[in-house]
């Protein structure tokens, strides 16, 4: 198993679901973003998801867009991503996935990106805006380097698309809870539970649900049927409003939701 798969398995062995926490790199500055990611690992996050700022974040909600805009204005460069990953992985064994739009990877060079990510200690990529059938070069690079490739499945995905996503993904399948941009929602769509069931039917062993999860209660609900919950906006807000101490407190609170029901399926 990959490091990401091992992290999910360790959570399951402990009788809980996995907690995946997202933060943008470089917000509010590079060093603070590094300390913030380490704080996630120290307070209950099983997998860290880092988002390099991007000038056209079509999937990001207002709070994450605000943060990434500030990081770009402060002078974020791609090299900063690998600097951050090296520092984080030196301080913690929690695997670090990069959540990135595809254009920056293409501009950097797919093989070069994979090699630099591996050298920095990264675990793989989550790629929200490229589908497996268009990602042949990345699939080849990830197989060469052993990096995980996490593709997205949406409630609107056809059975054929889900089959392709399941067969092409490693680590886990990023299960989109609802259509639209990231952000907090007071009630998760029922579509998430149905989508995870469909993914299981297509052979998915690990499915983590993201988009709109912001409370321990929502994490507990997701834990009834999925292998993990992905939280972004609530963590970014905590960092923005109260710095690393507030982020650590919110992370601990959210992590308490993972120890509820466990998925009723074979892993």
Strand order across the 18-24 sheet: 148-150, 124-126, 96-99, 47-51, 18-24, 228-231, 207-210, 173-176, 152-153
Name the active-site residue from 49, 80, 148, 227: 49
Whether 143 sits among the annotated catalytic residues: the reply is no
What are the Cα distances from residue 92, in Å, to 33, 45, 89, 96, 251? 14, 11, 5, 10, 16
Residues 6+ apart with CB under 8 A from 163: 202
Spell out the SS3 assignment of the chain: CCHHHHHHHHHHHCCCCEEEEEEECCCCCHHHHHHHHHHHHHCCCCEEEEECCCCCCCCCCHHHHHHHHHHHHCCCCHHHHHHHHHHHHHHCCCCEEEECCHHHHHHHCHHHHHHHHHHHCCCEEECCCCCHHHCHHHHHHHHHHCCEEECEECCCCCHHHHHHHHHHCCCCEEEECCCCCCCCCCCCCCHHHHHHHHHHHCCCCCEEEECCCCCHHHHHHHHCCCCEEEECHHHHHHHHHHHHHHHHHHHHHHHHHHHCCCCCCCC
Name the active-site residue from 60, 80, 148, 227: 60
Whether 60 sits among the annotated catalytic residues: the reply is yes
Catalytic positions: 49, 60
């Amino acid at each position: 198993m990959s490091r990401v798969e091992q992290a999910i398995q360790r959570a399951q062995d402990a009788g809980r679901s996995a907690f995946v926490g997202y933060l943008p790199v470089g917000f509010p500055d590079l060093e603070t973003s590094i300390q913030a990611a380490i704080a996630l690992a120290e307070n209950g996050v099983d997998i860290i998801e880092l988002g390099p700022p991007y000038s056209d974040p079509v999937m990001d909600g207002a709070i994450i867009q605000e943060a990434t805009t500030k990081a770009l204005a402060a002078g974020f460069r791609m090299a900063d991503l690998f600097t951050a990953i090296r520092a984080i992985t030196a301080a913690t064994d929690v695997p670090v996935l990069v959540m990135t739009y595809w254009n920056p990877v293409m501009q950097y060079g797919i093989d070069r990106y994979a090699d630099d990510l591996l050298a920095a200690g990264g675990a793989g990529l989550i790629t929200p805006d490229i589908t497996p059938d268009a990602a042949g070069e990345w699939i080849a690079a990830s197989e060469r380097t052993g990096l995980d490739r996490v593709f997205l499945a949406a409630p609107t995905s056809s059975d054929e698309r889900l089959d392709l996503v399941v067969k092409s993904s490693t680590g886990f399948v990023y299960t989109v809870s609802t259509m639209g941009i990231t952000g907090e929602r007071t009630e998760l769509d029922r579509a998430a539970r149905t989508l995870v069931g469909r993914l299981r039917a297509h052979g998915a062993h690990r499915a983590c649900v993201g988009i709109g999860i912001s409370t321990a209660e929502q994490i507990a609900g997701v834990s009834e049927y999925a292998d993990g919950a992905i939280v972004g906006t609530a963590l970014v807000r905590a960092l923005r409003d109260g710095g690393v101490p507030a982020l650590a407190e919110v992370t601990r609170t959210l992590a308490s939701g993972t120890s509820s029901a466990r998925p009723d399926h074979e892993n």
